[in-house]
Structure formats: C-alpha cells, structure tokens
Structure 1
Amino acid sequence: MMDPRTSAQDVMRCDLCETAMVQMHCDTCLVNLCKACVGEHFSADLSKPHKIIDFKDRKSTPLYPGCTFHDKERCEMFCKQCHIPVCITCVASDQHLGHKILKIMQVLVEKKEKIAKEKNELNETIFPTYQDIVSDVQNRISQLEKKYGDLSTAITKHGEDWHREIDKLVQKLKADVEEMKTTQLHTLQKHLDEVNKKISDINNEISSIDAALDSNDISTVLSVMPDVDEYKKLPQNILPSLPKFTPGRIQAELCKLFGTLSSISVRSEEHGYRIKTTQKSPEAASSPVIKQLLDEPQTVTTIHTEYGNLYNVACLSDEEIWTRGDITTMKLYSINQGSLLKSITTNSGYNPWDITVTNSGDLVYTDFWDRTVNIVKNEEIQTVIRLQNWKPLGVCSTSSDDLLVTMVSDGGKQSKVVRYSGSKKKQTIQFDEQGHPLYSSGILNHKYIIENRNLDICVDDNRATAVVVVNPAGKLRFRYTGHTPAPKNQPFNPRGITTDSQSHILTTDENNDCVHIIDQDGQFLRYIVCGLSEPWGLCIDTNDNLFVVKCRNRQVKKIKYQQ
C-alpha cells in the first residue's frame, strides 16, 4: 500500500500523528509537523534548541552539519587546513591552533559558485559536445549502412555479370562440343560407308565365283578374276580422339579473379573529439574537423599553364599556387583567375626538380644537377643546402619548419631521406631495422615526399612502385603498392604525394589516370578519377581542396573530394 505521507496523490502528512496536514517544520531535527504536534515534539527532547518554522520556509535556514567530535554541537565554521567543518568547541581546542578558520557560509557560497560554474560547463559545453558525438556516430552508422549496402549491391551486380559471362562461356563450350562431335561423326560415317561398299564388292565377287564354280562354260570360268589380294588390304582403323574438359581450379583462383575485399580497421583516437567552446584556443583552432569522403568527387576549376610538360604544384595560399615544369622557370598562378602572377628562374640555369612552400610562405626548390636546395625570399634566391656526392630529389617543409629532402648518391646506388633545420642536418633515414634499404636506387628517379599530420614521413618511390611510410623516428610503418582492381587495370605507377587534415595520404597513379586515397595506416579508401590524364604532382589547400597536375595537358585541376 502506498504511504499516505508521501503519496503523489495526497498532501504531506505530519511525521508524528501521520494524519494531519503538515504546517510546520523543525529545522533542528528536520521533522515535518502539524500545529497540534509542535508541543509534543518540543517535550520529546528538551536538550535541543528546536527551531520551528513554517513548512514553506523550511529551506531558508542553513542546515549546519553536526560535529563528529562534540555531540549536540553544530559546525558553523570551516578549517581550511583540515578541509572539514568545525564547531566553536573545535576552534577553541588545540587541534586547530594556527589554522585558517572560515565561516562555513562563506565556504558554502564559494562551493555553490564553483559547482554552478561546473553545472554551466556541463550544460553549455560538455553536454552539447556529447550530443554532437552522438549525432556524429549516428551519421557514421547511417553512412556505414548505406555504403555497405552499396558494397553488397556492387558485389551482387558483379556476380550477375559473372553469371552472364559464365553462361555465355558454357554455351560456347557446349557449341564447340557439338561441332567437334559432328565433325568426328561425319568422319566415322564416311569411313563406315567405305567399309560397307567394300563388303558389297566382296559379296559381288563371291557371287561371281559361285556362278563360275557351278558353270561348265569354260569362257565364263576363265573370265572370273577375283582380286583377293586387294581385299586383303584392310581399311584404316579410324580412332577419333575425344576432347577433354579440364575445369579450372575454382577454390584457389576464383576469389582472385572475381575480386577481393580490402581489410577493415576501426581506429580509436584518444583525442578524436574536442569539447565545444565559444572561445577559440590555439588547440581548438588546430584540431581537425571530421570530414567524410564524397562518393563523387567534383572538379571545381581548371588552371591552364604555359609549360611543355607540367610536373609539380604547391599551394602558396587558397588563392595562389606555385608550379614547376620542364623549363628553368617556376610560375605562380591565381587559382580563381587562372592568370600568371609571378615567375622565378633558377640561378643555375637547370630545371628545378621539386618545389614546396614553407609555413611563412617562401618558395623552396631542389636543383638536381646543381646539388642544391634553395629558398626564395622577396624574389631573391638563397642556397640553403649544398650537397657533396649526393643529388637532391623531392623536398617538403614540415610543421616544425624543417626541410625533408629525398636524395640519391652520384652513382645512383643509394637513396635516403635527410631532415634539415636550416642548413644543419638533423636526421638521416635510409635503412630498416634489418639493415635493408628503405628506398629504391637509380640515378634518375622521382621520390616526392610529404609529412603527414601525425608526423609520419611519406615518400612516393616511383622506381619501387610503392608509397613508403616511416614514423618520425624513421622506423618503417608500411609500404603501399596499389590496389586492385585499378581503374585501367594497369600496374601502380606513383608520381606525386600529399596528405590532408584527416591524415589521408593521396598519391597519383600515372598508369591508371587516377589518385589513390589511403588512410594513415595504409588502408585503401577509394580512387579519384575526375577525367585525369597522366596525373603527376599534387597538393592540398587549407580547406582540403585537392590540386592535381595533368602532365602533358599542362593543366592543374582543383577537385573537391570531401564534405
């Protein structure tokens, strides 16, 4: 049965008589009373200073905690050193001598202010952040459902295509069998007809001989000349060879022929989400927004350049790009206008080999034949690095303003990556943990380089037909050697590399006229095609727009591939 004193369908009842309506409240004992029971409550314990107030005012008087050391004492003070409420007797004792004693109401106000701020933070920032996380995860679940549905549909469609092709193949093989059977039956029938004719001729011979034997006519007998020797030559034995059907090995090869699924990974990022805030801290400003890849990347604009062949592109800003081609001059173009803004010619008279832009906006280029790495400041070229016995290939500027340079030895037998701070060498990356070379050798090859957001170092090793990724310490993480099926089913041929805000690695594939997108752990995500032909260099702007060089077309395409 429901307690009538606390039932939501009844009024509050007196704690003593349990029948009358509550009208008063003892702030000392925390007891609800009717007016008739107030006297009885007083007389029940005369040792306490009972404070009786109207029931509606019961929360207006502070409820001081009882002292754990002195019975019947209330703690109206607070010891800051001991961090406990204390009564007047406690304060007078030696136990808290020299301690800072505060009024407990002051502590209460400060505590309420603190928890009010924490409540406000929970309401204003933390709770909305968790709501956003829920929305984000639900969105991913929805997208995952759709993409897995699309994947199953694609597999089903591919299976139907296979069934049609297999049906065609079965019909063709059966037709071939019928044709072979008809040919061999015709041969055997012809042979049978020839043998039957011989039998008929033999029967005729026997009949002529029988007639001669029964006749006394000398002329008739003399006219019979049986050709027995001719019939002793038996006809050839026709032995048709039946065709043999040799089925292919289904279990061993079918999966590879039909197509395979790449492996999946579910990464957990400890700092993947950020608390929402109305103030922009440096940390919040640098934290990446989670973006999704578009199902259909879109070409935003095309910039036409003035080269014979165009090789590299580097973003100076979201409005301007530097380019490098088959001449000694590097050119700066406006993205929106497509107009030429500036030209810089190498000091050596040799063609530059690769270009990058520093965090401060200075152009850096490598000069293979001059063995130098150069920086352009205020249109003045300064040589930063001059090599001996080595030639520079690719270059990139890192988040810490270092330069990462790929290089090859004069004889082409060795390759390595070197990190420079200014002109000072800081790190060399050349061999794996077993002492094997990380990068391919060869005198004239391209090894473009980029630093990922997670500080991995990614090299586009064209001669090895691989993307080689090492961690900041130079330890090999993985090699990416392409994905099948490729758009044109040609071997992987990387020609350029970049990374985006999501730590995706993007590399061009000249043979297949596309860009591969892989995650920071080397898992293939998808291709970008967008009408690319002979794609080479590429770069990313601050909004994750992709710029891709079309080598012989001398064009740079700006492509949107993320939401």
Structure 2
Amino acid sequence: MDPLYSAQDMLRCDLCDTPVPPMYCDLCEVKLCKACVGEHISDLSKEHKVVPFTQQPHQKCHTDKDCEFFCENCELPVCLTCVTSDTHLGHKFTHALQKLHKNKQDLQRDLKELEEEICPKYETIASDVKAEKSNLDTRYVKLITAVDQQGDVWHREITAIVNQCKSDIEEMKTEHLAILNNHADEITHSITELKQIILDLKKIQDSEDFFRAFAYKSRNSKFRRLPPKVISPSFSPHEINTDRLQEMFGSLSPLSINTEHGDTMKSAEAVSPPPVKPLLDEPRLTDSIDTWHLGLRSVSCLIDTTFWISSEDCFLDLYDLQGKLLKSIQTKSGNTPKDITVTQRGDLVYTDTESRTVNIVQYNRVREALKHWEIKPGHVCRSSAGDLLVIMDSDDGCTPSKVVRCSGTAETQTIQFDDLGRPLYSSGYYKYISENRNLDICVADNDAEAVVVVNQSGNLRFRYTGHPFNTKQSFDPVGITTDSQSHILTSDCKNNRIHILDQDGQFLRYIHNCDLRDPWGLCVDTADNLFVAEYESGKVKKIKYT
C-alpha cells in the first residue's frame, strides 16, 4: 500500500512517536504529545510557542503555491510541495476541487434539511407551546373539575351510606318496638298470672283444707327465668386511614417532558417509588388474635386495625386486633365461601363455588356481582386497577384452571395457556391469587406445588417450586400475597413457614420463627405487616418482617 495515501497511517509525536499528538510548537514546527511538551520547552536555547495542533499555521509555508490537494489528516488545503514534505508523510490526500465539491454538496444538503425539516419542526413546536400556554388555564380547570366531580361521586356515595345506615336504624327501631311490645304483653300476662298465684297460695295458707296443701306444686321455677333484656344497637365508627383514602380517591399522573424518541424525563414533583424497606433478620410476632374458627382459610385487611376472615362455615367475620368481633355476615346461599378480598372502597367480596357466584357485600347486604353457570369461581383478589382477578375451575377436575379478569360483570381477560399452548395451572381447586406492584399476576398452585407468575399480558415469567434446602416436606404453597416492595410471600403449610421471594422469583428468606402452625391465608396491610390465618388453630397472627 502507498504510504502517502494510506488511511491507516496517522500523525505522530516527533519526539516519542505517540499517535495523534494534540499539541504543536509553532516556532520549531514539531508535533508534540502532552507528555513531551515539558521536555521540548525545557530547551532554553530557543524560543517556543506551543499551541493546540488544530491552530498550527501550515498555510504560512508555500503561500505562493496553489493548494491543489486537501490533507484529510490535518484537514487543510496543501500544495504539491507540502504533499511531498516530511510534515505530511503518510497522510491521506484528496484533490482540492473534489473536496470542495463534496463540501458544497454537504452544505446544500444540510441547508435543505435545516430549511425544509428541522426549522419547520421547531416552528411547529413553538406554535404548539404557544397554544399550550394559551390553553393552560383551560386544561387545569378541567383537572380541577375532574377532581370536583370525583368529590361529588364520593359525597353521593357517603350520603348513600349514611342514608342506608339511617334506614337500617329505622328498621331496627321498628323491629325493636315490636319486640318491646311483645315483651310488654308477655310480662303483663306473667304479672297477672303471678298475682293470681299469690292469691291462691295465700288462700291455701289460710285454709284448713289439707288436701289442697298436699296437692300443691311449686311453679316458682317457671318465673325465676326472667324475661330477656333487649339490647339496643350501637354504632362503631371505623378509623379513617387517610393514606388509603387518598389511594382510593385517585391520583394525578406526574408532569413529564416527552422527547422525540419517546423517553420521559420526570419532573421534580413526579411520584417517586416507595422507599426501600430491608427485610428484618428476625421477623417478630406482634399480635395473635384468636377467632375461635376451625378451618380458617382466608384473611383480608379492611384497614390496618381490622380484618375480615372466612373459614369452613358460612359466616364472614370482621375482627379488630383485640379479637373483638365487629361484624358477621352470612353468605347469601348458606354455602361456605371459597375466598375473600376487599375492594378499593372497602366492600367485602367473596366467591361461592357451589352457587357459582362472585358476591359483594354493601351496606350489610349481599348481592351477586358475577354469576357463572359452566365453571366455578374459586380464589379471588383485587387488582390495582379496581378489577377482580378470579381463579375459575371446571367441574370435571381435569380441565386446567384459568385466571379471569372481571371488570364489573364483564370478563376482559382470560389467562390459561403459555405461548406453546401448555397449561399454566393445574386442575386442582386450591389456587390463591395476588397481583404484585409491577402488575404481575401471582398464583400459588397447590396441586402443582409451585408459585406461577405471569405478567400483565398473561405471559409466563417464572415458576417457583420451593427452596432446595432446609425443607422438611415437599413445597406446599397455599396463601399468597405481595407487598409495597414487590416481594411475593407464600405460605408453605406443611412446613409451617412463609417463603419470601423478590419480584423475579429469587428466594430471599423464610419466616419460620413466629410459632406458625398450618399457615394458610395471607394478606399485608398498608405498612407491610403480614397477617397469617392459621388453618387448624383459628388464629390470625400479625408479623413484622420489614
């Protein structure tokens, strides 16, 4: 290859041969790397003027010559004498007119792009910004109006709740009055009867008729059982959780700057992710509430100080942390509920496998929210969008179960098979479900002895089949829940422990030192306290693990 035109040769330091020297001595006409600058100027026998290489005045040499060539390395026009000089040894040259023609073509192309594309786009954006500024007040008035409308909806709901409570109170009052009237009649009749008995006894006492005395039998035991006392109902207001109210009311999307490539730079006011809360080395038991229910299956927090439970009877009970029963609701059909969850507005939802219904409890009344004739709704959870995610099971016990997303009475999504057409879930009947903070859908599939996690679209992300070490028996997942850190927690019933995973299915640690016995249903409150329903003991245990 001709070294004069080789693109692989380059400028080098005249002292040490270092490639691409950044400096140049204008008076000595030598190229210098940064390391050699000091050595060069230390020669005090002559003057030096070291400048950046791009400022070297090559044009002062051969100024009387026509610059017919262009040095690509130095990016300067040069004459024929320069081309053959040591200064440009090994450089690549092109004809000056060719280079000039190419540069003019580049200039025309850039000018055309600036005039026809870039500048019009900037002008359009400027116009859009101007229009945005003029419409700013209108847009924000609409936001305020939307908030006011939501407030009106809440006011109507609260008014409806208050009116319903008042209506219930009036019904209780009418029922109470009827009971009191009935009791008054019975007591009046009893008093009349008592007075007559007293008169009869006095007559026997004063009489000398011994046969009547011999025939006497006491009736006092009948009247020792005093009439029952009717206890007036009371109203127990629930504690208001302001954080939960804000979450239920709605939220503003963050103000953001959207670039041409679709990237979003969030403003300083944008909502930040929750602070990282590390797992405790030793989780601790903070409360143990005895519900006296055997076969305790599910637990769901209403607020941080109250929780609903369901068991193998037909009642759904609300307790506080002191173990006080606050409310008890019987299922509409009298069947045992399969699972429970609580909606964003605090209404209780339960599934009834036998009647094939999903039911909602509002104002102490049960109504059907969803009814299936062909398949059985099993376990259920509420999604962050307010939908219900329901496990649907078949009658034959052979068809794989599926997850159905329900919005109101409509089914908007079905998840049953992976990309290869294989079932995601077994055909068994115990599959608790929870939605993670990243919108993954997590299912504890007991028959498959696995936790199955799919993304929001229903694509399989991973299966967790238990930690390979320190397990007494095979993995026995039952209840499942997630927390604000996107941890996945599942109860391992046979091994009396809770597995904690990260959102990608990596095992983090166990909870096994809180005297757990047959842990079944799980839920977490807004502070990431874990509630565990123990199947056999009927206890709900509150555990601090973060």
1:387 aligns with 2:387: no
The equivalent of 1:522 in structure 2 is: 505
Aligned residue in 1 for 2:490: 507
Is residue 283 of structure 2 the alignment partner of residue 283 of structure 1? no
Q: State the distance in 2 between where 1:356 and 1:503 align.
A: 19
2:524 corresponds to: 540
Alignment partners' CA distance in 1, 2:284 and 2:418: 39
How far apart are the structure 1 equivalents of 2:266 and 2:350?
37
Query: CA shift at 1:283, angstroms?
Result: 2.4
Instruction: Give the aligned residue type for 1:283.
Output: V
Match of 1:294, SS state, is coil
Letter in 2 for 1:515: I
Offset, 1:486: 3.0
Q: Which contiguous aligned blocks of 4+ residues in structure 1 show a shift greater than 6 angstroms? A: none
Q: Distance in 2 between matches of 1:484 and 1:560?
A: 25
Local SS of the residue matching 1:486? coil
**Are the counterparts in 2 of residues 309 and 552 from structure 1 also a CA contact under 8 Å?**
yes
CA distance in 2, matches of 1:331, 1:451: 24
Q: Displacement of 1:366 after TM fit?
A: 0.4
Question: Residue 315 in 1 paired to residue 301 in 2?
Answer: yes
CA drift at 1:551: 1.0
Which of 404, 408, 433 is 1:422 aligned to?
A: 408
Judge conservation of contact 1:539–1:548 (CA < 8 Å) in 2.
Answer: yes
State the Cα distance separating 1:511 from its structure 2 match.
1.2
Cα distance in 2 between the residues matched to 1:370 and 1:412: 17
CA shift, 1:484, in A, is 2.3
Alignment partner of 1:455 is 2:439: yes
What secondary structure sits across from 1:316 in the alignment? Answer: strand
Structure 2 stretches lacking a partner, 5+ long: 1-262
Q: Deviations over 1:409-468 (max 9, x none)?
A: 1112221000000110100000000001100013xx211111000000001100000000
Amino acid at match of 1:379: N
Aligned to 2:287: 301
Tell me which residue corresponds to 1:477: 461
Say which one has the larger Rg: 1
Give the C-alpha shift of residue 506 in structure 1.
Answer: 0.2
Question: How far apart in 2 are the matches of 1:506 and 1:437?
Answer: 23
Offset of 1:338 from its aligned partner?
1.5
In the alignment, is the contact (CA less than 8 A) between 1:357 and 1:363 conserved in 2?
yes
2:331 pairs, out of 343, 346, 349, with 346
Percent identity of equivalent pairs = 56
Match of 1:396 in 2: 381
User: Measured at CA, do residues 297 and 430 of structure 1 come closer, stay the same or move farther in structure 2, by a change above 3 Å?
Assistant: same
1:158-557 equivalence runs, <5 A: 283-284=271-272, 287-335=273-321, 337-414=322-399, 415-442=401-428, 445-487=429-471, 489-529=472-512, 530-557=514-541
Q: Determine helix, strand or coil for the equivalent of 2:316.
A: strand
For 1:541, give the aligned amino acid.
D
1:49 alignment counterpart? none
Please tell me the residue identity of whatever aligns with 1:477. Answer: R
Partners of 2:470 and 2:444 in 1: CA distance:
18
Whole-Å separation in 2 of the counterparts to 1:308 and 1:409: 27
User: Any conservation in 2 of the 1:486–1:512 contact (CA below 8 Å)?
Assistant: no
SS of alignment partner, residue 283 of structure 1: coil
1:330–1:343 Cα contact (<8 Å) kept? yes
Separation in structure 2 between the aligned mates of residue 456 and residue 544 of structure 1, nearest angstrom: 18
- State the partner residue of 2:207: none
Paired AA for residue 492 in structure 2: D
The offset of 1:289, in angstroms, is 1.4
Distance 1:486 1:466 in 2: 17
Q: TM-score, normalised by structure 1?
A: 0.49
Partner of 2:396, secondary structure, is coil
User: 2:432, 2:266 → 1: CA distance?
Assistant: 33
The answer to which of 405-414 and 520-529 deviates more is 405-414
**Which whole-Å CA distance do the structure 1 matches of 2:294 and 2:495 have between them?**
22
* AA at the equivalent of 1:438: L
Indicate whether 1:558 and 2:524 are aligned. no
- Displacement after TM superposition at 1:549 (Å): 1.1
Shift of 1:504: 0.3
CA distance in 2, matches of 1:461, 1:523: 18
Q: Tell me the secondary structure at the aligned position of residue 310 of structure 1.
A: coil
- Cα distance, 1:274 vs. partner? 9.5
SS of equivalent to 2:271: helix
CA distance in 2: counterparts of 1:547 and 1:491, whole angstroms? 23
SS in 1 for 2:484: coil
Q: Distance in 2 between matches of 1:480 and 1:310?
A: 25
Partners of 1:469 and 1:364 lie apart in 2 by: 23
The residue type equivalent to 2:507 in the other structure is F
**SS class of match (1:496):** strand
Q: Give the counterpart letter for 2:291 in structure 1.
A: T
C-alpha displacement of 1:282 = 7.7
Offset at residue 485 of structure 1 (A): 1.6
- Is there any run of 5+ residues in structure 1 with no aligned partner, and where? 1-270
Q: Secondary structure at the match of 2:397?
A: coil
Write the deviation string for residues 266-288 of structure 1: whole angstroms up to 9, x where unpaired.
xxxxx9x999x7xxx6824xx31
C-alpha distance in structure 2 between counterparts of 1:392 and 1:425, whole Å: 13
Letter of the 2:407 partner, please give it: S
CA distance in structure 2 between the partners assigned to 1:524 and 1:557 by the alignment: 23
Deviations 1:29-85 (A, max 9, x none): xxxxxxxxxxxxxxxxxxxxxxxxxxxxxxxxxxxxxxxxxxxxxxxxxxxxxxxxx
For residue 306 of structure 1, report the CA deviation from its aligned partner. Answer: 2.4
Measured in 2, the distance between the counterparts of 1:394 and 1:313 equals: 12
Asked if the contact 1:495–1:507 (Cα under 8 Å) also holds between the matched residues in 2, the reply is yes
Q: Give SS of 1:361's match.
A: coil
AA in 1 matched with 2:371: R
User: What are the Cα deviations for residues 373-406 of structure 1, in whole angstroms up to 9, with x where unaligned?
Assistant: 0011111111011012100111001111000000
Q: What residue is the counterpart of 2:93 in the other structure?
A: none
Q: Which amino acid aligns with 2:521?
A: G
Deviation at 1:359, TM superposition (A): 0.8
1:339, 1:274 → 2: CA distance?
A: 47
Specify the alignment match of 2:252 in structure 1. none
